Amino acid sequence: MTSIHLASSNQAKVAEITLGARLWVEQTRGDSPWNFELLPGMDRLPTCIEDGDSFAANAEKKTLHYSRFCDGPVLADDSGIEVDALGGAPGVYSARYAGPQAEDAENNAKLLEQMRGVCAAKRTARFVCELALARQGQLLARFRGVAEGILLEAPRGTGGFGYDPLFFDPEINRGFAELAPEGKLQRSHRGKALRALLEWLRANRTSIYSP
């Protein structure tokens, strides 16, 4: 079994990717020679400055940076929410919208304040996830997932993380924070990007083993 190291300090993202990989194996009735785990000693490695102008740029920058400290493949995620009425903000600043050390509740509160008084028809938004896979400083592939929805006027639900309490999926008439983890992965941006990655891995098994 090959370890794919996750270059992330966000435990919630790591848990989603691990769960998503297990669910994909069960649903496709396939096998998975890959084990997703945290990059060893990541907290002691030089930090990657995420100053890209897009989720894709940041994901690629992170995976290229951290894969230089590891023999095996490294997967990086950059994701967030884009609100149309705010010109796509918070975008790449989603994790630090209310400040460099902001927590989810603070980011959510700022976004709600920015959207105060905006009518339902103009509260369209989307979650975007970019996954980038690299090995020893060489980019192998990149995958994108998007989930379209509406920004709620107040938090709803107790599950999820990040902006999930504010994100409503009109196709299933539920908010992301109202879904069980398995259900959210079927609809979410990260779930879509992860399934694309896993399909690619199945079709390119030898690629990630090559030096």
DSSP 47: P
DSSP 23: H
| Type of residue at 175 | G
Distance of CA 142 to the CA centre of its chain: 12
- Helix (H) or strand (E) run with residue 187 in it: helix 181-187
Torsion 191-98-150-179 (CA) sign: positive
71 belongs to the catalytic site: no
Q: In angstroms, what CA-CA distances link 97 with 100, 107, 108, 162? A: 8, 6, 9, 11
| Type of residue at 116 | R
Q: Which residue in 78, 84, 164, 169 is the catalytic one?
A: 78
Please tell me whether residue 169 adopts helix, strand or coil conformation: strand
Q: Which residues are catalytic?
A: 78
